[in-house]
Structure 1
Amino acid sequence: MTKRYDALIIGGGHNGLVCAFYLARSGLKVRILERRGVVGGAAVTEEFHPGFRNSVASYTVSLLQPKVIADMKLAEHGYRVIERPISNFLPQENGRYLKLGGGLERTQAEFRRFSPHDADILPAYYDALEGVAEVLRDLALKSPPNAGDGWRGLIDAALQGRRVAGLPIEAQRDVLDLFTKSARTLLDGWFESEAVKAAFGFDAVVGNYASPDTPGSAYVLLHHVFGEVNGKKGAWGHSVGGMGQITRIMAEVCRGLGVEISLESPVEQVLVDGGKVAGIRLESGEEIAAPRVIANVGPKLLYGKMVAASDLSPDFARRMKGFKAGSGTFRMNVALSELPRFTCLPEPGEHHRSGIIIAPTLDYMDRAFLDAKTHGWSRKPIVEMLIPSTIDDSLAPPGQHVASLFCQQFAPELPGGRDWDDEEDKAADTIIDTVEAQAPGFRASILGRQILSPKGLERKFGLVGGDIMHGNLTLDQMWSARPVLGHGSYRGPIRGLYMCGAGTHPGGGVTGAPGHNCAHEVIADGTRMKRFRI
């Protein structure tokens, strides 16, 4: 080993870049080692058809932490997000449609077409959801209390728990509901219209290979609403230039602080000497020394392939083997000659600039999951379509468009020993058929397509099981137990090994929170001021 660094980061995704920024700003010598030939991890923009570019995996913005945006001065380097005029547009099976968002009064007017009761109770629902979302926002940039840390862990738990304990009893009940109930049980307690329940229930199956009837799915719904865009809480938007523009800017900021970013540098193994991290070995055989290695890859990949079994305790190895990953996600991009014309609302409009959700009821979502468990993918899958070229003309030729198709209920592993490489085109055709049923002529408008099955997502981005969250967001894999109890504070089971990816608190999405929090712990471990904040 010849070169030496203070910290090596495995993976150049957004959390790795955020972590590198804070470490370099504190004076550490940092090097990022990225397997692919482009920085950004799953937040990248690529040309997938001549003249057509789009975000490849992650595709929309809300959860990126305002503190990270401000600290990295992203806006000064060209970061720009355009908010959706309405949140979502849901075609219904009876030829009707529902629009969600655009302000409370407007959403109430939409709901009133389906249920006066649902329109009237909507403000109370929003207040309940926002009350719990505020707790999540408060905890997102705090390291969870770590089990096994003695008094320090108890103090941290008390301090963070005080936020919940101080809530009115009604809000505490909301917390319990959202962390334990199924999305259907939660929504049945508020609303009566199936269309309205679907509008909110969709968030419960995003990146979640489960039914809306699955206990705990209500939390996944909550996880998707604690973000903000341009200061507006709960809003979603499009990053001009695609998601790759965000990570391109982050890399530029990091390099400006002296961070070294090595592309096409896949890590083979974390090197351990005397129970402490010694560095890493690349697949090329090159070894690089550092007293700290920070993994921006999922726990399944890190402990299943990059850390020798002999360096892990049998109990830890067993628990990591049982760590649940696999989000049931199938990702497509399509190049279009024209905008889709939906039977229920055919002319161009604001609905083309929103999230277009093909999942009209919770029953539809439940059947999609059960179908996928039996057949490998749903014959009527859940589809979210975004058409970012309606507001970003850098993505497609004039008069033409790109669409992101984010699809749910595709088994991470196909039953019967089938291989996704042999089946992905059939699954993609099923997705196109599903859109075609709502927008006749959609298939004929497709000029080219990019397909990523769960296996394709794993191969391209290292997302084990195609899991966009790096691990299921279930109660046993959250907060102090993410990825496993005793290692919830971003520290691995080997001295000098840290984790900064979505497999740690607060979970998936382009948040930057794990990278921020991990950097805090690395810096704190190197100082006597353990409460130092970055």
Structure 2
Amino acid sequence: MQALSPDALIIGGGHNGLVCAYYLARAGMKVRILEARNVIGGAAVTEEFHPGFRNSTASYTVSLLQPKIIADMGLVQRGYRVIERPKNNFLPLGQGQHLLLGGSLEATQREIARFSQTDAARLPAYYAMLDSAADLLRDMALEIPPNIGDGAAAMLTAIKTARRFNRLAPLEQHNILKLFTLSARELLDHWFESAPLKAAFGFDAIVGNYASPDTPGSAYVLLHHVFGEVNGQSGQWGHVIGGMGKITELMAEACKEAGVEISLETPVAKLLVEKGHAVGVRTTEGENIHAPKIVANVGPKLLYDRLIRPADLPTDFRDMMAGYHCGSGSFRMNLALDGLPEFTDLPGIGDHLKSGIIMAPSLDYMDQAYQDARRFGWSRKPVVEMLIPSLVDDSLAPAGQHVASLFCQQFAPALPTGRNWDDERDAAVAAILNVIEDHAPGFRNKILGQTALSPLDLERKFGLIGGDIFHGRMSLDQLWSARPVVGAASYKGPLADLYMCGSGTHPGGGVTGAPGHNAANVILKERSFLSRWFR
């Protein structure tokens, strides 16, 4: 039965929308989620893409999901299970060379020592530097950034943040400032001399980031990818049994138990605004749905450029949003395979196939891929990461067969010279498969079926403008009190009773749940204050 008069409407049923809905409902609010697709979960879904083959459609690996949210929603008790990668990354380098990172520190150092004894010796200090910075991010992930100019509240938050930073040793402060401002190459050149090792670490700097490893600020994106954990192990990544959709399936279960109503196939066409207040939404079917609180789990570009009339927004806010950068340069594929790939540089079946397989042997390769994409629309030799989750989760494919996730970088959010991704998709797929074929000859012959999502496809299917998996670039000008823009950092924009809970807010992209958690806190604190004031 449809709930009457919801206290809050949430636009979009991705993981952050589910997290926000859960906390609001647990506090006694009537909540309704409006999801455009016929499946809950947003970009974190598991779907059949070829007869008998299932895989995570978009988001494909887990690390950043907040432990507090896992515990509060009872996800482990509901069946949440993650298998850690035995090795973090495998880089086939050509000419019989490879780099295999992960496992114990000692094992990683032995591997690196094959290329540089100096780099192997420096590795513990590098890890310690990253851990120190990642600890700061972990501490701040579930905090509400201050809106600059918000008076005493903003001042208190700023003081708290400054005190946390001041407790660090001068060297730690120095390193954190470098991480936020340097390019990935500048950072890694300072630490290491081996090109393969710099490639392994530098890959994280361009994931979901349409940029070169030489782009200033790209070092922060590297850091953003290491502040998570799996099964209590910091910095680890893993495979969710059942795919990423298992996370949102269990979140939806928790939400329903808390009383949340979930409406599928209910896309929102427009936000209803009256006298500077968000009062409801209009669906594509023409239904008007009203609620005292509207919470957007869509990106800021989608929300403010497409769902709200320009006349309903202040001019200065429109100007700031016009400069909000979206478009992560990503291309996503799923493959149904009749067997496992055989890599020339490390033949056979082993832990390397359960790792993130990164086909980009150097920072120079990554930079060239970016320059190619800027010039032609996509790289003729793109950066390709492959995961084979069916090696640890046999529910995804028939016995003896496998699924592979391909997450590929350096594809222009919008093609130059007016070309359309619908016309260029097949050529881009061919370039991706050529890269894999170079490292694993005969790979094409193992493909039984595939799906391919260009940046335009990601926008159409999941509402990711420009295919941006982070809902907006993760650069210093779009972080913390400036995410998405200055004055709209505390999960609220210029319209009263409108809130944001997606990755376009702090702490940014990835399956973290933190924006949903934090937005719910803002709403509940305001509600508590008003109930005390007017009772």
Please state which band the TM-score falls in when normalised by the shorter chain. Answer: over 0.9
Structure 2 match to 1:182: 183
Q: Which amino acid aligns with 1:296?
A: N
Structure 2 match to 1:279: 280
Task: Confirm or deny: 8 A CA contact 2:358 2:386 kept in the other structure.
Answer: yes
> Secondary structure of the equivalent of 1:189?
helix
Structure 2 distance, partners of 1:373, 1:325, is 15
Structure 1 match to 2:498: 497
Task: Confirm or deny: 8 A CA contact 2:96 2:346 kept in the other structure.
Answer: no
> Secondary structure of the equivalent of 1:409?
strand
Distance change in 2, residues 1:9/1:169 (3 Å): same
Structure 1 match to 2:147: 146
Verify: 1:41 aligned to 2:31, yes or no. Answer: no
Structure 1 distance, partners of 2:528, 2:42, is 30
1:479 positional shift: 0.5
Q: Matched residue pairs, number?
A: 530
Structure 2 distance, partners of 1:529, 1:74, is 32
Verify: 1:192 aligned to 2:193, yes or no. Answer: yes
Structure 1 match to 2:293: 292
Verify: 1:232 aligned to 2:269, yes or no. Answer: no
Q: Deviations over 1:36-72 (max 9, x none)?
A: 0110000000111111100000000000000000000
1:3 positional shift: 4.2
Structure 2 match to 1:393: 394
> Secondary structure of the equivalent of 2:94?
coil
Counting only pairs closer than 5 Å after superposition, residues 338-377 of structure 1 correspond to structure 2 as 338-377=339-378
> Secondary structure of the equivalent of 1:443?
helix
Deviates more, 1:92-101 or 1:57-66: 92-101
Q: Deviations over 1:9-52 (max 9, x none)?
A: 00000000000000000100000000001100000001111111
Verify: 1:129 aligned to 2:130, yes or no. Answer: yes
Structure 2 match to 1:467: 468
Structure 1 distance, partners of 2:126, 2:453, is 36
Structure 2 distance, partners of 1:461, 1:276, is 27
Counting only pairs closer than 5 Å after superposition, residues 448-463 of structure 1 correspond to structure 2 as 448-463=449-464
Structure 2 match to 1:19: 20
Verify: 1:110 aligned to 2:106, yes or no. Answer: no
Q: Which amino acid aligns with 1:198?
A: A
> Secondary structure of the equivalent of 1:208?
coil
1:88 positional shift: 0.3
1:319 positional shift: 1.3
Q: Which amino acid aligns with 1:318?
A: D
Q: Which amino acid aligns with 1:68?
A: I
1:529 positional shift: 9.0
Q: Deviations over 1:132-180 (max 9, x none)?
A: 0000000000011111211210111111221111100000011111000
Structure 1 distance, partners of 2:178, 2:108, is 24
Q: 5+ residue gaps in structure 2?
A: none
Structure 1 match to 2:415: 414
Q: Which amino acid aligns with 1:521?
A: V
> Secondary structure of the equivalent of 2:451?
strand
> Secondary structure of the equivalent of 1:526?
helix
Structure 2 match to 1:506: 507
Two-structure CA RMSD over aligned residues (Å): 1.2
Structure 2 distance, partners of 1:196, 1:240, is 30
1:304 positional shift: 0.6
1:275 positional shift: 1.7
> Secondary structure of the equivalent of 1:528?
helix
Structure 2 distance, partners of 1:364, 1:315, is 41
Structure 2 distance, partners of 1:121, 1:453, is 39
Structure 2 match to 1:324: 325
Structure 2 distance, partners of 1:376, 1:93, is 26
> Secondary structure of the equivalent of 1:48?
strand
Structure 2 match to 1:430: 431
Structure 2 distance, partners of 1:19, 1:356, is 34
Counting only pairs closer than 5 Å after superposition, residues 518-533 of structure 1 correspond to structure 2 as 518-528=519-529
Give every structure 1 segment of 4 or more consecutive aligned residues whose post-TM-superposition deviation is greater than 4 Å. Answer: none
> Secondary structure of the equivalent of 2:316?
helix
Q: Which amino acid aligns with 2:488?
A: H
Q: Deviations over 1:329-374 (max 9, x none)?
A: 0000011100000001110000110000001100000000000000
Structure 2 distance, partners of 1:436, 1:275, is 56
Structure 2 distance, partners of 1:299, 1:276, is 17
Structure 2 distance, partners of 1:324, 1:13, is 21
> Secondary structure of the equivalent of 1:405?
strand
Q: Deviations over 1:418-448 (max 9, x none)?
A: 1000110110011001000000010111111
Task: Confirm or deny: 8 A CA contact 1:3 1:288 kept in the other structure.
Answer: no
Structure 2 match to 1:31: 32
Structure 1 match to 2:65: 64
Q: Deviations over 1:485-527 (max 9, x none)?
A: 1110101211100000000000000000000000000001111
Structure 2 match to 1:216: 217
Task: Confirm or deny: 8 A CA contact 2:17 2:502 kept in the other structure.
Answer: yes
1:278 positional shift: 1.1
TM score, norm. by length of structure 1 = 0.98
Structure 2 distance, partners of 1:423, 1:315, is 37
Structure 1 match to 2:54: 53
Counting only pairs closer than 5 Å after superposition, residues 468-483 of structure 1 correspond to structure 2 as 468-483=469-484
1:95 positional shift: 2.2
TM score, norm. by length of structure 2 = 0.98
Q: Deviations over 1:440-481 (max 9, x none)?
A: 010111111100000000000000000000000011000110
> Secondary structure of the equivalent of 1:493?
coil
Structure 1 match to 2:8: 7
Structure 2 distance, partners of 1:201, 1:529, is 48
Task: Confirm or deny: 8 A CA contact 1:359 1:365 kept in the other structure.
Answer: yes
Q: Deviations over 1:68-101 (max 9, x none)?
A: 0000000111110000001000011332000111
Identity %: 64
Task: Confirm or deny: 8 A CA contact 2:94 2:345 kept in the other structure.
Answer: no
> Secondary structure of the equivalent of 1:92?
strand
Structure 2 match to 1:333: 334
Task: Confirm or deny: 8 A CA contact 1:3 1:289 kept in the other structure.
Answer: no
> Secondary structure of the equivalent of 1:64?
coil
1:274 positional shift: 2.2
> Secondary structure of the equivalent of 1:470?
coil
1:321 positional shift: 1.8
Task: Confirm or deny: 8 A CA contact 2:331 2:409 kept in the other structure.
Answer: yes
Structure 1 distance, partners of 2:275, 2:195, is 59
